[in-house]
Amino acid sequence: MEKLQVGILASGRGSNFEAILKNIQQKKLDAAIQVVISNKASACALEVARENNIPAVHISKKQFPEQELFDEQLLLVLKNYNVNFVVLAGYLKMLSPIVVKNFKNRILNIHPALLPSFGGQGMYGQNVHQAVLDYGCKVSGVTVHLVDEEYDTGSPVLQRCVPVLEGDAAEDLARRVLKVEHQIFTEALQLFARGRIEIDGRRVKIRP
């Protein structure tokens, strides 16, 4: 079984990346982070990578306005750092079909709600939690899913519920959900690392 050599793509704060890194350091996850890539030069995720001596690369639309060149560059960097598994940890750009094809069933995203509810374009950050509260939901949760060519439509790998409590504001729910994100992203990655994932159509089966 080939070791998971992860490329992290992140646009912002990078707390999921940090949680994954910590779990690798504490030997709870059998993987290596080869590179962190961001479309935002100022992303905290890039700073955290540098502090931990992990290559940090900025690839933006400004540098590569043509989608084809952007994709080429992204694939080149992933290849140069020997990445065999891609993790979207708060990456706000949609991946092109060519990138998805190159890492078929080897790209995971995390979404701070129970998909297919409260997903899709524009559903990120506080928008998600506000929408859950506005709907009056009693539970929300986290979905770790495979990435396909659309927003948030790939098969779920793991999902976990998080209760909505009376009086929750979006920030309260976000905080509770984020704690669970930090646990289950690693759990999902460890399933891949251990070769316990079998993909059967839309179903992601977990071998014992």
Give the active site residues: 111
Q: Which is nearer to ligand GRF, 59 or 111 (CB)?
A: 111
Q: Which is nearer to ligand GRF, 72 or 93 (CB)?
A: 93
Task: Provide φ and ψ at 37, rounded to 5°.
Answer: -120, 135
Query: Hunting for tokens 């059967």 — which residue is that?
Result: 200
Nearest-approach distance from CB 207 to ligand GRF, in angstroms: 26
| Site residues, ligand GRF (CB under 6 A) | 10, 12-16, 89-90, 110-112, 124, 178, 181
Query: Strand order of the sheet with strand 85-88?
Result: 56-58, 31-38, 4-9, 85-88, 107-111, 139-146, 156-163
CA distance 44 to 128: 22
Nearest-approach distance from CB 2 to ligand GRF, in angstroms: 26
Q: How many residues does the chain have?
A: 208
Q: Which is nearer to ligand GRF, 72 or 131 (CB)?
A: 131
DSSP labels, 67-96: HHHHHHHHHHHHHHTT--EEEESS--SPPP
Nearest-approach distance from CB 195 to ligand GRF, in angstroms: 26
